[in-house]
Amino acid sequence: MAGQQIKGRGIVAVVNDIADGFLYLNTIVLKKYDVETYKTLYHGLKKVQKTIRSEAFPSNDTLKIRKRNIRLQRLHTAVMILEHAAKIKRMSIF
């Protein structure tokens, strides 16, 4: 599980790219992956979401607040797309 890669990169790097907006998940991208990759990606997305939420909230800096919220929004969207694709394929990723 630790050695899995997506597009030649590690899961952590892919999840960070999704959060930063460099990679976008859709059903076409997810079509070629197996159940283990879905699970690993799902848990990686949830882990990064939890990490971002646990960081100190930048209450006085509006640009940092915006950046944080956009990253969380991208991660949430990716999780919803992943859950929907798994539901269509009748996979359990939880």
- In a domain, residue 10? The reply is yes
Crossing angle for the helix pair 11-20 and 62-88, nearest 10 degrees? 120
- In a domain, residue 27? The reply is yes
Give yes or no for a contact between 72 and 83, defined as CB atoms under 8 angstroms apart: no
Q: Which domain does 22 fall in, by range?
A: 5-60+68-88
Does pLDDT of 6 surpass 80? no
Q: How confident is the model at residue 1, as a pLDDT? A: 46
Q: Which residues pair with 6 in a beta bridge?
A: 9
- Stated pTM of the model: 0.86
- In a domain, residue 72? The reply is yes
- In a domain, residue 94? The reply is no
Q: What is the 3-state secondary structure (H, E, C) of the chain?
A: CCCCEECCEEHHHHHHHHHHCCCCCCHHHHCCCCHHHHHHHHHHHHHHHHHHHHCCCCCCCHHHHHHHHHHHHHHHHHHHHHHHHHHHCCCCCC
- In a domain, residue 93? The reply is no
Give the pLDDT mean for 5-12: 80
Question: Going by C-beta distance under 8 Å and a sequence separation of 6 or more, which residues neighbour residue 60?
Answer: none
| Count of domains for the chain | 1
Does pLDDT of 8 surpass 80? no
Give the pLDDT mean for 10-27: 92
